[in-house]
Structure 1
Amino acid sequence: MNKIAKALTIAGSDSGGGAGILADIKTFQELEVFGMSAITAITAQNTLGVQGVYPLSVEAVQQQIKSIGEDIGTDALKTGMLFSSEIIQVVAEQIKHYQWRNVVVDPVMIAKGGASLLQREAIEALKKDLLPLATVITPNIPEAELLTGITIKRLADRQKAAQYLWDLGVAHVVIKGGHGEGELVDLLFDGKEFTEYRSERIQTKNTHGTGCTFAAAVTAELAKGREVKEAVQVAKDFIQAAVENQIEVGHGHGPTNHWAYRREKMKKHR
């Protein structure tokens, strides 16, 4: 029997289906990884915005993770919306307790519509407790600015911010370029060298959940045993296909197309 690659997402749910836990599980499935979840908060949201955020208790988050750790285990995990410093601390404790590796941190702070998804005081807990455990962190430009205090306008600013985050103990830093201008460039820093992943920028409003999906794809590939550089490349290709092959859902910022990458691969192999 072939070993099944397993991935765990610790994040908030999105009732609209475009981001958070739902985007993660869809991505894991499309990349042929067995997906599991520990929900940190329930959000009432759709393509028009976030209408409500209802965090779960610290005990509920802890018990979900323990249920996975004591039975199934995981080959990789990602964190998304963690909401509070207390949840961040218990997540970090559980990662250390089970000695889990391949930890991808997507520092979810602000929803696409501008709603805050992380309490201000939780930022320090994220930096102190969770980032030293991270194999990869995947902030977009606004998130990188909040984490580092560095205003990012040019590629050199992103390099400076990546160095700052690496100094906090993160093994690999990916600062995404979706909020930049011109050609879309995602920047990876491993402590020694910078790697640029370039792609055409697609003009569309249907980008809800791109950050969650990208980080989930990295997580899935790490679970399957890929090195970080390869995992980031697959994630880049996955999200590019998901944005290029648009689907129309809702009346605002619509979700990405999670099945596009698989369909493109199937076409190439015909």
Structure 2
Amino acid sequence: MQIARALTIAGSDSGGGAGIQADLKTFQELNVFGMTAITAVTAQNTLGVQGVYPLSLDAIETQIESVAADLYPDAIKTGMLFNAEIIQLVSEQVKKHGWENVIVDPVMIAKGGQSLLQREAVEAMKKQLLPLAKVITPNIPEAEVLTGMVIKSLEDRQTAAKKLHELGTSYIMIKGGHDMLGDVVVDMLYDGQSFTYFEGERFETKHTHGTGCTFAAAITAEISKGHDIHSAVQTAKQFIQAAIEDQLGIGNGHGPTNHWAFEKRKMLKSV
């Protein structure tokens, strides 16, 4: 049996809750072999980001080429890309290697409010990377930046999804964690024709650092195993729900989610 493989192209989180670290933990928990190309090193913890140090374009390109030449990823996830030059490089690599299972998590702002994507990079993402993506997973603030519109309602989200789909991405997954409209979180998937809604209980907790990375990584893992998008999102939804609910309570600020909660629950059910 061939082992599913996923490559994450993203930033390193020294606190271990988001970025490359969250992606690898998620891949591992979902039985996928994870590989990395680090775009930037960040100094951060649950209280915020103390520093961002982008790698050189040559260093990023060489990492991607090394993985592509030998390990042949089944799916690609992008996270923190930081600037327009890195986005252009990653886009060129996607086209060069003919990668189709590309999941873009448009990481823009850290939980503490620090910007993780330079302003001019937004246009590069829209014009160069999103047309190559199979799935994009913005939260509501990220969808607002990418579409230039204010999102207040479910109808607004539908309009934003249609605008993002026009950029060339096959599937638009707009997360509902920021809507604060009730006790239920509704994530919305748009395939260019119809909308599918994934509901989950809202948990009152400050320990949500890395939720976006983890959710997108779970989708990537499932797609790398050959699952369709709806099945992948359903598993990812269950994975992140468990990770948030079974909180670790680590750190004095926005703590990380519990990446082993999903598999632990499955093991307990099987006993």
Q: Match of 1:248, SS?
A: coil
**Match status 1:203 vs 2:196:** no
Query: 1:248 Cα shift?
Result: 1.5
1:228 aligns with 2:229: yes
Aligned ranges 1:237-252 → 2 under 5 Å: 237-252=238-253
Query: Any idea what the Cα deviations from partners look like across 1:159-182, whole Å, max 9, x if unmatched?
Result: 000000000000000000011111
**Which amino acid in 1 is paired with 2:115?**
S
Separation (CA, whole Å) in 1 of partners of 2:65 and 2:85: 16
CA distance in 2, matches of 1:101, 1:269: 35
For residues 140-160 of structure 1, give each alpha carbon's deviation from its aligned partner in whole angstroms, at most 9, with x where no partner exists: 000000000110000000000
Q: State how 1:65-84 maps to structure 2 within 5 Å.
A: 65-84=64-83
Q: Deviations over 1:32-76 (max 9, x none)?
A: 000000000000000000000000011111110000111111000
CA deviation digits over 1:92-146, x for unaligned, max 9? 1111111112100000000000000001000000000000010000000000000
- Equivalent residue letter for 2:209: H
In the superposition, the TM-score normalised over structure 2's length comes to: 0.99
Residue 194 of structure 1, CA deviation: 0.2
Runs of 5+ unmatched residues, structure 2: none
Q: Deviations over 1:216-237 (max 9, x none)?
A: 0000000000000110010000
How many angstroms apart in 1 are the aligned matches of 2:269 and 2:94? 39
Give the Å deviation of 1:267: 1.3
Kindly report which structure 2 residues correspond to 1:122-201, keeping only aligned pairs within 5 A, or say none.
122-181=121-180, 182=182, 183-201=184-202
Question: What code does the residue aligned with 2:122 have?
Answer: I
Q: Percent identity?
A: 67
Task: Give 1:195 shift.
Answer: 0.3
Q: Superposition pairs for residues 82-101 of structure 1, below 5 Å?
A: 82-101=81-100
Whole-Å Cα distance in 2 between the matches of residues 71 and 235 of structure 1? 28
One-letter amino acid of the structure 2 residue matched with residue 80 of structure 1: G
Point out where structure 1 has 5 or more consecutive residues left out of the alignment: none
Q: Which runs of 4+ in 1 moved over 3 A?
A: none
Q: Which residue of structure 1 aligns with residue 2 of structure 2?
A: 3
Give secondary structure in 1 for the equivalent of 2:188: strand
Give, in whole Å, the separation in 2 of the partners of 1:267 and 1:103.
33
Q: Trace 1:18-37 onto structure 2 (pairs within 5 A).
A: 18-37=17-36
CA RMSD of aligned residues (A): 0.5
Q: Partners of 2:138 and 2:178 in 1: how far apart? A: 11
Letter in 2 for 1:251: N
SS in 2 for 1:70: helix
Q: What is the CA–CA distance in structure 1 between the aligned matches of 2:166 and 2:138, rounded to whole Å?
A: 15
Match of 1:257 in 2: 258
Could you list the per-position Cα deviations for residues 228-250 of structure 1 after superposition, in whole angstroms to 9, with x for gaps in the alignment?
01100100000000000010211
Specify the SS of the correspondent of 1:265: helix
